[in-house]
Amino acid sequence: MNKTTINKQEVNKFSKIADEWWNPEGKFKPLHKFNPIRIEYIKSELKSHFSITNKSKPLNKLKILDIGCGGGLLSEPMSRLGAEVIGIDASERNIKTAQAHIRKSNLKINYICASPENFKTTKKFDVVLNMEIVEHVKDLDLFIKRSSFFLKKNGLMFIATINKTLKSYIFAIVGAEYVLRWLPIGTHEWDKFVKPESLIKSASKSSLKLNRLDGVTFNPLKNSWNLSTDKSVNYISLFIKN
């Protein structure tokens, strides 16, 4: 039996709410709030790493693979910034939602229903995005290994996820799902959350070296997400392929 990273329960869970991806007040509202900090973080690191000076299209011609792209919330901003983007997702309904939305956006993004282990391409990418996806996969080591395979030498991989702590259980599950109802109940499972040291260990097996690791926290007064030294719940990491 071939190994897979696909957790069918997780794919089904997100397929059922795929029509909600682009509704800023819908079931993906927290991700819409989270998106600006993700975009700025990625853009800033790419400009620095690739010594980019183009201000209007700072990611011009960079090849980006967005894994677990969902409805395209991150793929589209990357494309607008000039990148050549391919988005893959194991949910066919997610991909159909993403494809429908770019017809309105007039962007050129190639969306494919696939997971890293069954994505067929000869291309190598400057950047791989694994944002809010590793806590939903079946086999973390395989997922990182296959994701790294598509990355050029000295390319960058961004991974954002949720730490496995008591605080993350209280905030990301009890608080976000049951109390504040930011997310549908059952969106996350604490057992699947990933400690930074586990992520770093898994990445090192696939020739990925940690470059930076930052916490991301929500400020209720400003109603926005911010970079932080607090990595106890959400965090975002940057790896370079050796």
Looking up tokens 């995005």, which residue turns up?
129
Helix (H/G/I), strand (E/B), else coil: 226:
strand
Q: Specify the pLDDT at position 67.
A: 98
Residue 1 domain-assigned?
no
User: For the stretch 12-26, what's the b/e string if a residue is b when 16 or more beta carbons lie within 10 angstroms of its beta carbon?
Assistant: eebbebbebbbeeee
- Determine the Cα–Cα distance for residues 177 and 130; give it in Å rounded to an integer: 23
Question: How far is residue 4 from each of residues 16, 139, 190, 203, measured CA to CA in Å?
Answer: 21, 7, 21, 17
- Determine the Cα–Cα distance for residues 156 and 45; give it in Å rounded to an integer: 9
Number of domains present in the structure of the chain: 1
pTM > 0.85: yes
Residue 105 domain-assigned?
yes
Q: Specify the pLDDT at position 223.
A: 83
Residue 3 domain-assigned?
no
Q: What are the 10-residue block averages of pLDDT along the chain, 242 residues in total?
A: 87 95 93 95 97 91 97 98 98 98 94 98 97 96 98 98 96 80 82 97 98 94 92 97 96
Residue 176 domain-assigned?
yes
Residue 71 domain-assigned?
yes
Residue 2 domain-assigned?
no
What's the CATH number where 234 sits? 3.40.50.150
Residue 214 domain-assigned?
yes
Burial of 9 per CB tally in 10 Å (0-12, 13-18, 19+): exposed
Domain carrying residue 168: 8-49+57-241
Helix (H/G/I), strand (E/B), else coil: 160:
strand
